[in-house]
Amino acid sequence: MTERQEKLFAGARLRRLRKDIGQTQAQFAEALGVSASYLNLLERNQRPVTARVLLSLAQAFDIDVRAFASEGDRQILADLDALARDPVLKGVDLDQRDLRDLVDANPRAADALSRLYQAWREASTSASDLAAQMAGGAGDGAVVSPLEEVRDALDGRQNHFPDLEAVAETLRAGLDPDMPLELALSQRLRTEHGAAVRLYDDEVMDGALRRFDFHARKLLLSEHLSAEGRVFHIAATLGLLEAGDVLDEEAARANFSGDGADQLYRAALSNYLAAAIMMPYDAFYRLAEKTCYDIDAIARRFQASFEQVCHRLTTLNRPGSRGIPFFMIRVDQAGNVTKRFGGGVIPFARSSGGCARWRLHDAFRMPERIHVNLIELPDRMRFVSVAKAVTRPLPGGSVQMQTLALGCEAKEAERLVYRVPDFEAPLEVGLSCRLCERRGCAERAFPPLQRKLRLDPHVRGRAPFTFGEE
């Protein structure tokens, strides 16, 4: 495996951190154990940030130094790369070095440009969809997508919220430890809020999995929920009732542009809190390390589902007890991404679907198995992917099957219980066909954005598209 061997220039990040905590260069330099003149050189990117400076940052300010590593900007770089490849910028010739320099020198400007491009893409898509609806006589309405804004906010926090962890620990400590968790949560709901938990069929639930009736003081749960699903929804309800102000404060910090994103974000935080109640941080972290991140073993210990454990593994970012940096992605059988957490570990395509060469859909054919693969992006970065088919209940008693993949950088592979066979070559994947310039891919669905098609009517190669250098 090859790894990037590049010096780390993070002057803009150091300057932003210093200003955020309200310190002068002299104060900041003293805290890091360096001279003010040396700090000035660091902030101007005239000196690279050394390992000793990173260690001092972690010790003095209790921050995750991964935020200062160049890999932490992978998603922004992927977004800017998509922008640079867009036909509207044809002829500008922005290369990877240009984009890297922008992110290093002005991370906030790079993030703003990324968001502006996403907004432009969404507006263009909305306009196209609306025009198609009008031409076809379809109903009115436009496409709005606050989902990406919420995903970016979660990734910006590395999917870790200390205030919610503290609430979860306090709530869990107040439960009867001798009771099964579902009964203990139900008892607290009754004693503290005068509400009972009841299971009902589809006719009463009207398609909902959970509904809290404030008038009747009842939590109504679908009878189709699994045992771990019932625990999760009871915990989520308790979190909403007892920590609504904390959830509101966290949502307000994100400063979203619209109500849709606010509501989605608050729902995501509520789910985070429920998982933290079910799987307390310290105990969960210790077991994850002890079992080498064996998802099934952790699920048995905490009586949680495969998906709940994977989601919780992406949140282990507490200073002093950090787990492996994981990403998580969930796709349905049509290829739609229905859940995603990157955390700066791996970039994701914002549109155009994923890569067919990443064998996530193999899990649909063999749902009883855990599928372990080594994948490699065009930039030579490698990741271990652990995928399995998961289900969720639907009204009427049926289920929806989706594939969930948990992954990490290949350099963390020795810490995992999962092993890629030695004889198995890495799967060469891309973010999406529109952004991938690998040649000779027989599974390509679209040509890359910035390459001209080169088609010979007398030649049909293994790939459906051939293209030139420009």
pLDDT digits (tens, 9 = 90+) for 395-405: 777 889 999 99
Domain boundaries of the chain, sorted by first residue: 11-109, 162-278, 322-428, 444-470
User: What does the block give as tokens for 304?
Assistant: 């949680």
Position of tokens 């957490």? 341
Q: How far apart are CA 60 and CA 341, in angstroms?
A: 28
Q: Residues 196-206: pLDDT tens digits?
A: 999 999 889 98
Across-strand partners of 278?
none
Alpha-carbon dihedral sign for residues 291, 293, 296, 302: positive
CA angle (110, 111, 116) in 5-degree steps: 95
The answer to whether the beta carbons of residues 270 and 239 sit under 8 Å apart is: yes
Return the number of other C-beta atoms located less than 10 Å from residue 399's C-beta.
11
Least confident of 328-337, 346-355, 366-375: 346-355
Burial of 282 (0-12, 13-18, 19+ CB in 10 A): exposed
**Distances 430 to 78, 205, 378, 437, 439 between C-alpha atoms, Å:** 11, 42, 6, 8, 11
Rounded to an integer, the average pLDDT of 64-69 is 60
Of 146, 145, 349, 119, whose CA–CA distance to 254 is shortest?
146
- Alpha helices in 255-305, H assignment, sequence order: 259-278, 281-290, 295-302
Cα separation of the two ends of the chain:
30
Q: How confident is the model at residue 3 (pLDDT cuts 50, 70, 90)?
A: very low
Residue scoring higher pLDDT (123 or 149): 149
pLDDT above 90 coverage of the chain, percent: 41
Structure-token pair, residue 195? 């509400």
Query: What's the CA dihedral at 268, 341, 161, 264 to 10 degrees?
Result: -20
CATH 3.30.230.10 fits 162-278, yes or no: no
CA distance 22 to 192: 42
pTM (2 d.p.)? 0.72
In angstroms, the CA 53 to CA 33 distance is 8
Q: What is the per-residue pLDDT across 207-258, written as a single tens digit (0 to 9) for each?
A: 889 999 998 999 999 999 999 999 999 999 999 999 999 999 998 888 887 6
- Could you tell me the CA-to-CA distances from 137 to 130, 131, 150, 345 in Å, in that order? 10, 10, 32, 44
What does residue 219 show for φ and ψ, rounded to 5 degrees?
Answer: -100, 115
CA distances from 179 to 183, 186, 188, 195 (A): 6, 10, 11, 18
Summary mean pLDDT of the chain: 83
pLDDT tens, position by position, 77-136 = 777 777 777 766 766 777 777 777 777 667 777 777 877 777 776 666 555 454 444 444
DSSP 401: E
Tokens coding 69: 């590593």
Task: State the DSSP H helix or E strand holding residue 41, giving kind and residue range, or none if neither.
Answer: helix 36-43
Query: Hey, what are 421's tokens?
Result: 């066979």
Question: Cα separation of 242 and 220, whole Å?
Answer: 18
Domain 322-428 matching CATH 3.30.450.20: the answer reads yes
State how far the Cα of 272 lies from the Cα of 235, in Å rounded to an integer: 10
CATH superfamily of 11-109: lambda repressor-like DNA-binding domains (1.10.260.40)
Q: Which residue has the higher pLDDT, 283 or 344?
A: 283
Residues 190, 193, 198, 200: what is their CA dihedral angle, to the nearest 10 degrees?
180
Distances (CA, A) of 62 to 24, 38, 54, 178, 219: 19, 22, 11, 36, 40
The whole-number average pLDDT for the span 21-32 is 89
DSSP 253: H
Token couple for 156: 């910006």
pLDDT for res 353? 65
Amino acid at 201: D
200 Cβ contact list (under 8 Å, min separation 6): 220, 221, 222, 223
Q: Is the Cβ–Cβ distance between 253 and 153 less than 8 Å?
A: no
Question: Is 455:467 a contact under the CB 8 Å cutoff?
Answer: no
Q: pLDDT class for 68, splitting at 50, 70, 90?
A: low
User: Is 60 exceeded by the pLDDT of residue 352?
Assistant: no
pLDDT value of residue 272: 96
What would the mean pLDDT of 35-62 be, rounded to a whole number?
84
Tokens linked to 383: 């990741």
Please, which pLDDT band fits residue 341 given cuts at 50, 70 and 90? confident
Q: What 3-state class would DSSP assign to 463?
A: coil
Report yes or no: 182 and 278 within 8 Å, Cβ to Cβ. no
**Coil, strand or helix at 416:** coil
Phi/psi of residue 86, nearest 5 degrees: -65, 135
- How many beta carbons lie within 10 A of that of residue 257, not counting itself? 11
pLDDT in tens, 151-190: 888 888 889 999 999 999 999 999 999 999 999 999 999 9
Report strand pairing: 218-222 vs 196-200: parallel
